[in-house]
Amino acid sequence: MAIFFQEKEKVFTLHTRHSTWQMQVSPYGHLLHLYYGRRVEKTSMSYLVRGINRGFSGSPYAAFGEDRGYSLDTYPQEYSTFGVGDYRTGCLQLEHSDGSQAAELVYVSHRILSGKYSLPGLPALWAEPGGDGAAGPEGSKKAGSDSVQTLEIVLRDTALPIEVRLYYGVFEEYDAITRSCRITNRGGDGVYLNQALSMCLDFLREDLDLVSFYGRHTMERMVERRRISHGRQVVESRRGSSSHQQNPFVILCASEANEEYGECFGAALVYSGSFLASAELDPINQIRFTMGIHPDGFRWRLEPGESFTAPEVVCSFSASGFGVLSQNYHRLYQKHLIRSKYKDVQRPVLLNHWEAMEFSFQEEDLVSLAASAKDLGIQLFVMDDGWFGERNQDTSGLGDWQVNREKLPSGIGGLSRRIHGLGLQFGIWIEPEMVNEDSNLYRTHPEWCLRAPGRLPNVERGQLVLDMGRPEVRDYLFRQIGAVLDEGEINYVKWDMNRSLSDVWSGILPRERQGEASHRYVLGVYELMERFTSTYPDILWESCSGGGGRFDAGILYYMPQIWCSDNTDAVERLQIQYGTSFGYPVSAMGSHVSACPNLQTGRRTPMETRALIAMSGTFGYELDVRKLGEKEQEQIREQIREFQRFYPLIHHGDYYRLTDAVKDSVFTAWEFAAPDASEALICVVTLRARSNAPQIRLRVKGLKENGIYQINEEAAHYQGSALMYGGILLPALPGDYQSIAFWVRQVTEKDR
C-alpha cells in the first residue's frame, strides 16, 4: 500500500520509495498540505503548521471566534481558491451566476483505489501496458496494477453547489505522484471558470531555486536557474502551444543542489497548449507553486451538470540531485506515458530528404537519394514537405492533402512500392493543423480557420491555423490524410506544427464561450492524434513544431519521439539536448546528422562528432548522401553499425550528465549506463583545443564499485570504484569539436 488515511487525525499519507506527500483535513474542513519531501515513517507532519494572528490575514468565519491564527492566507493548502481570504495565487477562480467570484472548498469524502485514474480526452500516465489498470474519473476500477494507486478527494464549496475532485496517482517505484482535478457544477445555474489550474504545492520554506528551460526557435530548452524571491516568478506560454520559449517542465530545488546532491522537486504538465507555472514567495517566507492551463484568454462555461477536467501534473522528488530526478522521469515516461509499440521496438535509422532538396524535387530524385541511403545501411527514407497540392514554397498548398502528380507521377502508392523495393521503409511529412490562404481548402472553407471577425490576421510562414475544435475539420483531415496512408505502405509520419496561435476565435462557439477556443483546439489535436495513432498503430509517429516548439509530455502520450530542434548544428545541439534531458528521455529526442558546413550556423564539425551527438537521440541523417566522398560514406556505414550495437544501452540505459553543457568551455560529456551496471558508454566532445593543456580526468557513474571493467577492448582492467572516483584520463585531441567515446564493459573471471 502506498496511500494511507488516519481517521482520527484525518491525515492522508502518500508514500513512494523515497518520498512522502502528506495532507490533512483541518477542523474547519479545509484540505491543508503538510509535507512533501524525503520519506518519513509513521509520523504526522501536522505539527509544522501553526497559526499566528497576523494583521491583514483574516480567518474563515467559522474559525474567527475559535482561532484567529487560522488563516487561508498563511496556511498551506492542497488546492487554493480565489476570493475568500487567500491573497496568494489561487488555482480556482469562479464566476457565479450572480457575478460573485468566491469559492471556499471543504472536504466531503475520499476513496483509495487500485490502479491509475484516467482523464477523458486528455493524455495522462497509465498503469499497465495498453492503458489497462486505469481507474476512470469516477473511480471505475479495471484489472491489475496493484503497484499504482489512486486517491480521490471530493471537495465542495461552502455556499454554492460546486464540486472539485482532486486526483492523486502514486507511482511508488518511480518516486512520482500525479495531480489533476475535475470541477463539476452541481447547481441549477451556469458558472464560468476564469482560472482552473491543475495543482498547488505549498512549501513551508524559502530556500528553493527555480530551474526552468527557456529558448527560441532553433535554440530550445536552455537551462536557467534563479532564486525564488518575494513575489511571483512565472514560467509560461501564451502561444496556444507549449512553445519554444518556455517548457512546461520545471524544477524547484535546494540552493545547494547539483547533479548528485540536494533535494529536487520536479513538476511536468502533461499538456501541449498555453500553460502557467508560478513560484511565489509570500511575506512570511513560504513558497507556493501552482501549475496548469494559462488563464489569459481562458474562460470556460459550466452549465448545470457539466464538468471540466484539468490536465495532469507529474511530480517527482529526488534527495540526490538532478541526476536521479531526471532518471525518475525517463523511466516513468518510457514505461507509463509513451504507448507506441516503438517504446520497446528498436527504431530504424532514417534519412530525411529536407536539407538535401527542400521543395525542389521529383520522384526520380527521391528514388536516387533513397538508393544511395540503402547502400549506406540506412533503414528508413522520409519524404519531407513539398509532396502535396501546389506546394512549391511555404506559402501555398497546406490543407490540400492530395499527391502532387507533377512531382510524383507514381503517387504515394507507387513511390512507396519503389522505396520498399529498394529494401527501405518509407515515411512522409504532414502538417495537419495549418492551412495556406493559397489552397483549395481555404478557398472552399475560410470559416474553418481561427480568425477574429473583421480583423486581418497575424500570419506566420504564410499559414493560418485550422480550428481543431471543429469536428468537421478533424474529420476532413483524418479522411484526406488517412487516404494517403492507406494508398501506400507508410512506416513513419512526421507531424509538424509551424506557428503559434493568434486571432483565436471560433465560428462554432457563441460569444460567451469564446474563452474555450484555445483549450478546445488542444483537445481537438489530441482527439485527432488518438484517432490516427490508434488506427495506424504500426506507424512510427514523430511530432514536430518547428523543431522543439511542442516538446512536452502531452505529445509523448501519442507519439514516442519529438524532433528536438530545427537546429541541426551538432555543437549547439549539445546544449539543446542537455537541457531537454532534465525532463525527457533520450529515446524521445529526434536528432540527425546534417551537412557540413551547417545550414543554420555555417559551422564545420567533424562527421564523427555530428554522429556521436545525433546518436544520443533517435538517430538519422538529413543531407544529400550522394554528394559525400567514399571516406564519409564509409563513416556513415560504421556509425550505423555502432548505433545499432549500442541501441539498447542508449535508449534504455540510465542517462548521466557528466558536465554542465551550459558552462562548458573545454569539453562536454555524458554517459549511458546499463541498469545492471554491466556496461556504460561515455561520450565526450571537445569544444576548444588548447596548447600544453592540463590533464583531464572524467569520473564515470553507474558502475559496481567492486566490478572489474575493460575500456574499449583494451587489455588493461580497472575496478569500478577506480573509474568512478579516480576517473578516465582523456587523451589530447587536436582541433576543435573533436569527439571520443569510451565503452566500459564488465569482464568476467574468464575474460581476465
Give yes or no for a contact between 322 and 258, defined as CB atoms under 8 angstroms apart.
yes
**Cβ neighbours of residue 128 closer than 8 Å, sequence gap 6 or more:** 115, 134, 144, 145
Burial environment of residue 214 by CB neighbours within 10 A (0 to 12, 13 to 18, 19 or more): middle
Bridge partners of residue 149, in order along the sequence: 114, 170
Burial 661-679 (b: 16+ CB within 10 A, else e): beebeebbbbbbbbeebeb
Options 157, 220, 552, 569, the catalytic residue: 552
Max CA pair span of the chain:
87
Dihedral through CA 650, CA 319, CA 322, CA 248, nearest 10?
100
Q: Taking each helix axis from N to C terminus, what angle separates 363-375 and 411-421, rounded to the nearest 10 degrees?
A: 20
Strands 463-465 and 492-495: unpaired
Instruction: Report the distance separating Cα 145 and Cα 290, nearest Å.
Output: 29
DSSP secondary structure letters along 147-204: TEEEEEEEEEESSS-EEEEEEEEEEGGGTEEEEEEEEEE-SSS-EEEEEEEEEEEEES
C-alpha distances in Å from residue 751, one per residue of 710, 728, 748? 10, 21, 5
Q: What does residue 431 show for φ and ψ, rounded to 5 degrees?
A: -140, 75
At residue 749, the 3 state secondary structure works out as helix
In whole angstroms, what is the distance from residue 191 CA to residue 242 CA?
28
How many other CB atoms are found less than 10 A from the CB of residue 204?
A: 16
Task: State the Cα–Cα distance between residues 507 and 503, nearest whole angstrom.
Answer: 12
Q: What is the CA 387 to chain-centroid distance, rounded?
A: 30
Sign, CA dihedral 364-369-371-374, equals negative
Across 97-161, where does the E strand assignment appear? 105-114, 116-117, 134-135, 148-157
Residues in the chain: 752
Active-site residue, 365 included: no
Beta strands in 248-370 (DSSP E): 249-254, 264-270, 275-281, 287-293, 300-302, 307-309, 312-318, 350-352
Whether 219 and 572 have beta carbons less than 8 Å apart is answered as: yes
Q: Is 632 a catalytic residue?
A: yes
Grid coordinates of 678: 554491466
C-alpha span between 274 and 549 (Å, rounded) = 12
Helix (H) or strand (E) holding 231: strand 231-237
Catalytic residue from among 206, 460, 503, 632? 632
How far is 360 from 538, CA to CA, in rounded Å? 30
Q: Are 252 and 279 in contact (CB under 8 A)?
A: yes
**Residue environment code for 241-258, b if the CB has 16+ CB neighbours within 10 A, otherwise e:** bbbbbbbbbbbbbbeebe
User: How far, in whole angstroms, is CA 300 from its chain's centroid?
Assistant: 25
**Closest of 408, 410, 391, 407 to residue 399, by C-alpha:** 391
Residue 124 φ/ψ region, left for φ over 0, alpha for ψ in the -120 to 50 degree band, beta for the rest: beta
DSSP state of 131: G
For residues 625 and 376, is the Cβ–Cβ distance under 8 A? yes
- C-alpha gyration radius of the chain: 27
Q: How many CB atoms lie within 10 A of CB 445?
A: 18
Take residue 414 and report the three cell numbers written for it. Answer: 507507387
Residues involved in catalysis = 552, 632
